[in-house]
Amino acid sequence: MKLWSKSNSITTQAVELFTVGNDKDFDQLLAPYDVLGSIAHVKMLASVSLLTQSEADLLVKALQKIYQIVIAPAFVIPDGVEDIHSYVELLLTNELGEIGKKIHSARSRNDQVLVDIKLYLRAEIQFLVEQVIPLFELLQKQSDQYNNHLLPGYTHLQLAMPSSFGLWFGAYAESLVDDMVQLEAVFQIVNKNPLGSAAGFGSSFPINRKLTTQLLGFENLNYNVVYAQMGRGKIERIVANGLANIADTLARLSMDMCLYLNQNFDFISFPSTLTTGSSIMPHKKNPDVFELVRSYCNRLKALPNEIALMTTNLPSGYQRDLQLLKEHLFPAFGKLKECIQMIHLMLSNIEIKAEIINDPKYKYLFSVEEVNKLVLGGMAFRDAYKLIGEQIEAGNFTYSTSINHTHEGSIGNLCNEEIAKLMHHVVGKFNFNQSATAFKALLS
């Protein structure tokens, strides 16, 4: 069954297989949202007298039953049916006859796909935020717990200044705050209703697009119908950027862990059950989880560029190129959530080495501390810097491992409470309850 079939339409099997591709697989993910979009569309059609209220009631009740079918784990789109849109209309027509055919009035597959994708992305962003929050909370907990465990800080991979595990864990917690800030901006762009744009040029029917916006729990609508269609491709790229930022945080954290677990650093360890061994070297404890997270996340960082290249030089209006974006973007959510879960597992079981900086090889970490002590005693900074430098060159540098950093965001003043408030504020701006309430009303 094809919505676009005409009585004399013949498509060769090779063309059909090529153009459909893997699209049906991703339609499985879109199925619940297609039904919800159809329920909202039916209610709107009744409000402008394109359906009678009795017809709308029958369609809504049938669509609610179809919703239960498509959310079942075993649901598949049957062979011979082109896509989820065709399947929903087929089920309605089989049950309700001619009334089922009326559901496609005032819409196109183009805006059906758009609204399905928007609803899917909105839900996936929510699931992603729900994964990030526990990792953020763990990082903050570990930051507080290990603040007094000093470790070397590096620039250019050379010894620089004293740091602490409290500072290190807290840095990645705050990085996730900024990732959520951008993801919330992404969510605001996604959370606009394209339904009613039809094939990208609107409709001569007197439809009420603000009503479907309200019914589907969107914050607003894409007003210009041409832009609503032009947004496809742009939306995916913007979402991919949001994912890439979180991936970048995880990739950098993973690289740190690979270094810190190395025997030459020896700052941390993990239970043997969380590391892997060698087939010939019995001493090995390899950080395979972090290596794979690093690689998966680096691949996710390339996703915005992939999507940008796939949509380069496309004109306005729908092009079939856009179909392929689902193959790249949709699986990215699952992989990123899996990486977050694995990082959470590993950091929950990390073992931090104590007294790391007491090793004499780290003595030059404290050169700046000794310079600052002289400055606090009244010496000009340039003179203090020169004096300590001369001591280092002469081999008679002396130091203390006692440090006293008090300013905001330093070892002695992590500001974790302030960072937690920032995260709480940005997460509150997502307003996930709005869509949950709207869906509940559509299905009741």
If asked whether residues 231 and 87 sit together in one domain, one would say: no
- β-pairing, 150-155 with 158-164? antiparallel
If asked whether residues 243 and 311 sit together in one domain, one would say: yes
Rg from Cα positions in the chain:
29
Which CATH number fits the domain that encloses residue 246? 1.20.200.10
pLDDT at 4 over 50: no
pLDDT at 5 over 70: no
pLDDT at 357 over 70: yes
Residue 237 lies in a domain: yes
Instruction: Give pLDDT, residue 394.
Output: 94
Residue 412 lies in a domain: no
Residue 153 lies in a domain: no
Question: Which of 148, 180, 343 is CA-nearest to residue 255?
Answer: 343
Tens of pLDDT, residues 85-136:
888 999 999 999 999 999 999 998 888 999 999 999 999 999 999 999 999 9
Residue 372 lies in a domain: no
Residue 351 lies in a domain: yes
Which CATH number fits the domain that encloses residue 28? 1.10.275.10
What is the rounded distance in angstroms from the CA atom of residue 324 to the CA atom of residue 317? 16
pLDDT at 241 over 50: yes
If asked whether residues 258 and 313 sit together in one domain, one would say: yes
Instruction: Give pLDDT, residue 81.
Output: 81
Instruction: Give pLDDT, residue 20.
Output: 65
For the chain, what is the mean pLDDT? 91
Q: What is the mean pLDDT of residues 410-426?
A: 96
Q: What is the mean pLDDT of residues 33-60?
A: 96
If asked whether residues 258 and 334 sit together in one domain, one would say: yes
If asked whether residues 79 and 184 sit together in one domain, one would say: no
- In the chain, the percentage of residues whose pLDDT exceeds 90 is 76
Tens of pLDDT, residues 70-88:
999 988 888 878 888 888 9
Residue 260 lies in a domain: yes
If asked whether residues 239 and 260 sit together in one domain, one would say: yes
If asked whether residues 135 and 42 sit together in one domain, one would say: no
pLDDT at 257 over 70: yes
Q: What is the mean pLDDT of residues 163-179?
A: 97
Q: What is the mean pLDDT of residues 43-53?
A: 96
Range name among 1-10, 65-74, 211-220, 302-311 with the lowest pLDDT average: 1-10
Domain region containing 127: 109-145+168-206+219-356+417-443
If asked whether residues 178 and 310 sit together in one domain, one would say: yes
| DSSP-assigned beta bridge partners for residue 276 | 286
pLDDT bucket at 26, cuts 50 / 70 / 90: confident
pLDDT at 420 over 70: yes
What is the rounded distance in angstroms from the CA atom of residue 89 to the CA atom of residue 91? 5
If asked whether residues 116 and 72 sit together in one domain, one would say: no
Q: What is the pTM of this model?
A: 0.91
pLDDT at 11 over 70: no
If asked whether residues 38 and 130 sit together in one domain, one would say: no
Residue 306 lies in a domain: yes
Tens of pLDDT, residues 190-235:
999 999 999 889 899 999 999 999 999 999 999 999 999 998 899 9
- β-pairing, 268-269 with 351-352? antiparallel
DSSP assignment string, 305-369: HHHHHHTTT--SS--GGGGGHHHHHHHHHHHHHHHHHHHHHHHHT-EEPSSGGGSGGGGGGGHHH
Instruction: Give pLDDT, residue 86.
Output: 87
Residue 156 lies in a domain: no
Angle ∠(11,13,14) on CA atoms, nearest 5: 110
Of 55, 75, 104, the last residue of a domain is: 104
pLDDT bucket at 318, cuts 50 / 70 / 90: confident
- In the chain, the percentage of residues whose pLDDT exceeds 70 is 95
What is the rounded distance in angstroms from the CA atom of residue 134 to the CA atom of residue 341? 9
If asked whether residues 21 and 122 sit together in one domain, one would say: no
Q: Give the chain's domain count.
A: 2
If asked whether residues 334 and 427 sit together in one domain, one would say: yes
pLDDT bucket at 27, cuts 50 / 70 / 90: confident
